[in-house]
Chains A and B, each alone.
Chain A
Amino acid sequence: MIELDGVGRTFTVRARTGRLRRDTRVVHAVRDLSFEVAAGEFVGYLGPNGAGKSTTIKMLTGILTPTSGRIQVAGLDPSRRRTTLARRIGVVFGQRTTLWWDLPLRDSFTLIRHLYKVDQKVHQSRLAELCEVLELGGFLDKPVRQLSLGQRMRGDIAAALLHDPPVLVLDEPTIGLDVVSKAAVRDFLRGLNAERGTTVLLTTHDLGDIERLCRRVMLIDHGSLAFDGTVEDLRATAPEGASIEEVVTRLYTRQAG
């Protein structure tokens, strides 16, 4: 469902180093990254700050064009076929909403129905279902800017799934959520993967997400893949009895050193 082959992405940054001097520096956000995610998998994408997780997600969705390598998502090259891919993928950015700030949630959903050309009947039943599981009923008529973070996040997740995509990628979907909202989002994602067979890739800094949701974990550091395996494999990298935090801390610091 998702295939990366030797993918790299660099950014040229200009920094002022003196009064007139400007140095250009090349940042390798992602380098020589290759992995595959099969249909129906639930993958956690871990890594310290600045490791290249968001950059990867943006390349998978066609927002960023890779500087090297090949990507295929749902059979398409994201940067070349971005608008076609949009119909087959759902995207959630936890840090920033993809909804229209001034529109009530309900209008955003109607707009999405038209943009993705979803049939009215199909849309109604899908929306009703999402409203029920994600408990959106209470704030459907509020403009997005008035929603709390947890409400907005649930709205964003619903919006990403209205067109029933086979792949869902989420960049930190549980950031800033309280325990109850977090549990609701996790339950929902688990159900989505189990019942509809949706392929899910999510990045997170919350190891609870990994423990409770992901069968497979990928760990990226300084732009390259440092670990890829099951949660049990991940635990096995540390002495018996270590908590998941300790396991991940070991991996993060080992890579940095």
Chain B
Amino acid sequence: MTRVYVLLVVTWIRAAAQYPVSMTLLTAGSFLVTGLDMAAIAVIFSHVGSLGGFTLPEVMFLYGASGMSFALADLLFGNVDRLGQHVKAGTFDAMLIRPVSPFVQIAVERFSFQRLGRVAQAATVLAIGLAHLHVPWQRLWMIPVMVVCGIVVFTAIWTIGSSIQFTLTDAGEVGHAFTYGGGQLTQYPLSVYGADLVRAVTFIVPLAFVNWQPGLYVLDRPDPLGLPYWLRFLAPAAALVLACVAALAWRSGLRRYRSTGS
């Protein structure tokens, strides 16, 4: 699986490398554009000093960690939301005749190297935030865990959104709207939004596990909403459950796939 993934990625990068200038410009462009996000947060802080009770380095940490998850998930598996286009165009059939999971094939198709720009940007913000935070080393282990769980959660949600497109090709944009919205949501401290929303998000959509609960652990802050402490360690379980749901949705979607008439 991993071998095939890497192989396909290399093939697509080689194909894109025939246009090196365009590849470099796109990567730099994506670094800059996502940098504007951070600039916007910095501008807010120059006026208010703290956001929902969080200092600038703390917000940078939360933003950077969720940004890393999102950008890496997008880089590695973001293409799965193209499924609807492939189903409509009938090009999905070609992926089903190969001895490799169509999920992997679609994930890496025209692998967009330039998405690395966004990863680099999130990593920079995360590093700057952490440099100002003095997180005790006993708590640092949570950071890679939350990033990896975040990747799994984002990928799972995209996959569920895509699986719906097997039957409902009109729903093309469902998954997309969902995640990009989700990506924005977790980039600011959750207490900025109302308590009800946060409860709903924590329990209904496990997106809050992406960085909010584990983030509180790393920052060693009390939960502004008074939710139990153990929730901070639930990220891997939430990611696992969501991944299983996604796998089931994908399989049942695949069985319902009806190809095109011609």
Interface residues of B in 90-122 (CB under 8 A from A): 90-91, 93-94, 96-101, 110
**Alpha-carbon distance A95/B91, docked complex (angstroms):** 11
Task: Given A64-B258, A107-B15, A111-B11, answer yes or no on A83-B94 (Cβ-Cβ < 8 Å).
Answer: no
Cross-chain contact A98 with B94 (CB below 8 angstroms): yes
Cross-chain contact B259 with A63 (CB below 8 angstroms): yes
Interface residues of A in 87-116 (CB under 8 A from B): 87, 89, 91, 93, 95-99, 102-103, 107, 110-111, 114-116
In the complex, whether B14 has a CB less than 8 A from a CB of chain A is yes
From A61, A98, A99, residue with most partner B Cβ within 10 Å: A98
From B7, B90, B98, residue with most partner A Cβ within 10 Å: B98
Interface residues of A in 17-76 (CB under 8 A from B): 54, 58, 61-65
Contact of B255 among A65, A95, A114 (CB under 8 A): A65
Q: How large is the interface on A (under 10, 10 to 19, 20 to 34, 35 or more residues)?
A: 20 to 34
Cross-chain contact A11 with B258 (CB below 8 angstroms): yes
Cross-chain contact A86 with B98 (CB below 8 angstroms): yes
Least CB distance from A7 to B in Å reads 16
Contacts of A116 in B (CB 8 A): 99
Contacts of B101 in A (CB 8 A): 83
In the complex, whether B4 has a CB less than 8 A from a CB of chain A is yes
Least CB distance from A127 to B in Å reads 17
Cross-chain contact A102 with B15 (CB below 8 angstroms): yes
In the complex, whether A82 has a CB less than 8 A from a CB of chain B is yes
Contact of A114 among B7, B94, B96, B259 (CB under 8 A): B7
Cross-chain contact B99 with A87 (CB below 8 angstroms): yes
In the complex, whether B257 has a CB less than 8 A from a CB of chain A is yes
Q: Chain B: how many interface residues by the 8 Å CB criterion?
A: 22
In the complex, whether A84 has a CB less than 8 A from a CB of chain B is yes
**Alpha-carbon distance A154/B255, docked complex (angstroms):** 31
Contact with B along A185-216 (1 / 0, CB 8 A): 00000000000000000000000000000000
Cross-chain contact A103 with B262 (CB below 8 angstroms): no
Contacts of A89 in B (CB 8 A): 97
Contacts of A230 in B (CB 8 A): none
In the complex, whether B8 has a CB less than 8 A from a CB of chain A is yes
A49 to chain B: closest residue by CB = B262
Least CB distance from B23 to A in Å reads 14
Contact of B8 among A11, A83, A98, A111 (CB under 8 A): A111
Task: Given A63-B257, A114-B7, A115-B4, answer yes or no on A84-B99 (Cβ-Cβ < 8 Å).
Answer: yes
A116 to chain B: closest residue by CB = B99
Contact of B96 among A63, A97, A115 (CB under 8 A): A63
**Alpha-carbon distance A83/B99, docked complex (angstroms):** 4
In the complex, whether A79 has a CB less than 8 A from a CB of chain B is yes
Cross-chain contact A64 with B94 (CB below 8 angstroms): no
Cross-chain contact A103 with B11 (CB below 8 angstroms): yes
Interface residues of B in 56-102 (CB under 8 A from A): 90-91, 93-94, 96-101
Contact of A64 among B8, B90, B259 (CB under 8 A): B259
Cross-chain contact B110 with A102 (CB below 8 angstroms): yes
Cross-chain contact A86 with B97 (CB below 8 angstroms): yes
Contacts of A97 in B (CB 8 A): 94
Cross-chain contact A107 with B96 (CB below 8 angstroms): no
**Alpha-carbon distance A82/B259, docked complex (angstroms):** 15
**Alpha-carbon distance A62/B92, docked complex (angstroms):** 13
List 13 additional contacts besides A64-B258, A65-B257; criterion CB under 8 Å.
Answer: A63-B97, A63-B257, A65-B255, A83-B100, A83-B101, A86-B97, A96-B90, A96-B93, A98-B93, A103-B15, A107-B15, A111-B7, A114-B7
19 residue pairs of the A-B complex, CB under 8 angstroms, read A11-B258, A58-B93, A61-B96, A62-B97, A63-B257, A64-B257, A64-B259, A83-B101, A93-B93, A93-B94, A98-B93, A98-B97, A102-B110, A107-B11, A107-B14, A110-B11, A111-B11, A115-B99, A116-B99
